[in-house]
């Protein structure tokens, strides 16, 4: 995963993602696609240079199900209340913010 984060433009993607999600409601499939489009537009990254950093920031994994399916599931999980019998789940907004903060510290900024 380190190679993904250190890849060309990855930090820009992560920063733009965190910024886009900071005021966004929980994501469904279409909202995620719109956010990804705005991150692409803001950074000029596309393909794996766009989606690999997003995947790592939001899932902590370098592979897995399609993001437009996984991301809404993460955000639905984040809306479950503790009374539903599950541990609290960080939503995409919180995951992206924490990941961007950690990536900034890792780079010394």
pLDDT at 23: 86
Q: Determine the Cα–Cα distance for residues 13 and 5; give it in Å rounded to an integer.
A: 9
Q: Are 83 and 77 in contact (CB under 8 A)?
A: no
Domain total in the chain: 1
What digits encode the pLDDT tens for the residues 56-109?
999 999 899 999 999 999 999 999 887 778 888 999 999 999 999 988 776 554
State the residue range of the domain holding 97. 2-106
Band (1; pLDDT cuts 50, 70, 90): low
CATH code of the domain containing 7: 1.10.10.350
Q: What is the pTM of this model?
A: 0.89
């Amino acid at each position: 995963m380190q190679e993904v984060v250190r890849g060309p433009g990855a930090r820009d993607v992560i920063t733009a993602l965190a910024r886009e999600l900071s005021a966004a409601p929980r994501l469904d499939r279409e909202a995620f696609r719109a956010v990804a489009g705005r991150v692409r537009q803001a950074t000029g990254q596309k393909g794996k240079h766009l989606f690999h950093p997003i995947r790592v920031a939001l899932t902590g994994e370098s592979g897995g199900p399609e993001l437009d399916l996984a991301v809404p599931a993460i955000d639905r999980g984040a809306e479950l209340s503790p009374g539903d019998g599950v541990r609290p789940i960080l939503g995409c907004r919180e995951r992206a913010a924490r990941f961007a903060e950690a990536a900034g510290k890792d780079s010394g900024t």
